[in-house]
Amino acid sequence: MNPDRYAITFACYNQVEYTRQCVDSLLRHGVDPSRLVIVDNASQDDTRAYLDTLPLAPEGRIYNKTNFGCGVAWNQGVTALQAEWTVVMNNDVIVSAGWLDNLIDTAERNGLKIISPSLIEGPLDYDFDEFAASASAKMADTVRHGARHAVCMAIHESVWRDVGLFRATPKLLGYEDTIFFHEAEQVGVLCGMTGASWLHHFGSITVTAMKQERGLAGKQGLGGRRNYRLLQQSWLQRKLAKLARVRQGERWREEELAKFGFTMHGERADKAFVWKA
């Protein structure tokens, strides 16, 4: 893929080993380091020392003096290196061969403006490269129209004009993606998830660390309890929308299992795959 057509950005907060694995996988699979923008939200570990060793462009390193959260950091990355397609992703992922080309190619063939890859979550106790090569070949033409997730999403430049950037409110603490997807849906931006592109997600590593810092239990939400009010939906609207998403997810799961024996969303448990909606 022509490097001038894309940019990739992610925020990080401590967890340098996950950032290192993420960057290693990006470079190994052909990402031009000059198209990568990494925003560090005031890490206290060796993250910045590691980032200083990377051959990034001058705008490729952004060092914040405090943790501004995802929304602010994502906006910093998006605007620092503007492109036709911007991939916003987590730092606790590794990518596979052909992931970027397949992601953008699927979006363009299907008229999608936001697209996410398929993913396996949990411990990396299997041969991800082998699995991804086989799965992407089998699911090359399979798309979940309307699906998307913020672990990784390629966003077309038109979306910034039609929807705007992410909500830059640090106290949202992870709710920025929900608001962004809701606003995109309101203006008719088409999104999807493709089986042609795969990544491994270790599983909300930074969010877990921030919960521990704040003394929160694993199941407690990091953001405010009343963030949902920002969606400006009634209780009934939210419940009906959630029910519709769950039902559609189950339909996708049943169809994919019947056709392929696996789905676009897997989880590793006890060294086995659990296939989810």
Q: How distant is the alpha carbon of residue 16 from its chain centre?
A: 18
E strands in the chain: 6-12, 36-41, 61-64, 85-89, 93-95, 114-121, 143-145, 152-156, 191-201, 265-269, 272-276
pLDDT tens series, the chain, 277 aa: 899 999 999 999 999 999 999 999 999 999 999 999 999 999 999 999 999 999 999 999 999 999 999 999 999 999 999 999 999 999 999 999 999 999 999 999 999 999 999 999 999 999 999 999 999 999 999 999 999 999 999 999 999 999 999 998 888 777 899 999 999 999 999 999 999 999 999 986 665 555 455 454 455 454 556 677 777 778 888 888 889 899 999 999 999 999 999 999 999 999 999 999 9
Give me the CATH number covering residue 229: 3.90.550.10
pTM greater than 0.85 (yes/no): yes
Domain count, the chain: 1
> Could you tell me the residue range of the domain that residue 253 belongs to?
3-276
* Strand pairing category for 265-269 and 272-276: antiparallel
* Strand pairing category for 191-201 and 36-41: unpaired
Amino acid present at 133: A
Sequence-ordered list of residues with C-beta below 8 angstroms from that of 3, at least 6 positions apart, any chain:
32, 34, 35
Q: Do 198 and 117 form a contact (C-beta atoms < 8 A)?
A: yes
